[in-house]
Amino acid sequence: MTVLRKTAPARFWIISLLITLWGAIGVAAFYLDVTTSPAAVAQMSDYDRTLRASRPDWFMWLYGAATWAGLLGGLLLLRRLVVARAVLIVALVLVVAMFGYIFAVTDLIAVKGVVTAAGFPIALVLIAAAQIWFATHARRHGWIV
């Protein structure tokens, strides 16, 4: 059985490009994190330096995989491939695992407050969920196969 791809509307291309750019921003943030100079680390608060130093090695692999999966998901959308949805789901799972670990084993929320500590992670999860919804929507409309 052959599945035909329908012509994608302009909004598909715009949203897919925005998802890809968002993924690139995530990869850039990861790169900046792993290449932070000792001088920049020294400028952080004692708490932030301790938190940063306490991250296990596997955490950085999780962080990197989450950001690269988000970028790859966007690129796959631009290629109009249905596997984009699965990759975006993986990115969401990795983001939840990453922040779940941080919130479960640190006192970040108690120290920084809920809004400061959890605001951005919640936004990331909501954006990732919206990306998955969009990929599902694109599949239903035959824009990706």
The helix (H) or strand (E) run that includes residue 71 is helix 57-78
Q: Where are the domains of the chain?
A: 62-145
pTM: 0.92
Distance separating alpha carbons of residues 46 and 112, to the nearest angstrom: 13
At 92-135, the pLDDT tens digits run 999 999 999 999 999 999 999 999 999 999 999 999 999 999 99
Q: What is the dihedral of CA 124, 27, 40, 107, to 10 degrees?
A: 30
Orientation angle between helical segments 83-105 and 57-78, nearest 10 degrees: 150
Distance separating alpha carbons of residues 61 and 44, to the nearest angstrom: 23
Distance separating alpha carbons of residues 122 and 6, to the nearest angstrom: 34
At 60-77, the pLDDT tens digits run 999 999 999 999 999 999
What one-letter code names the amino acid at 79? R
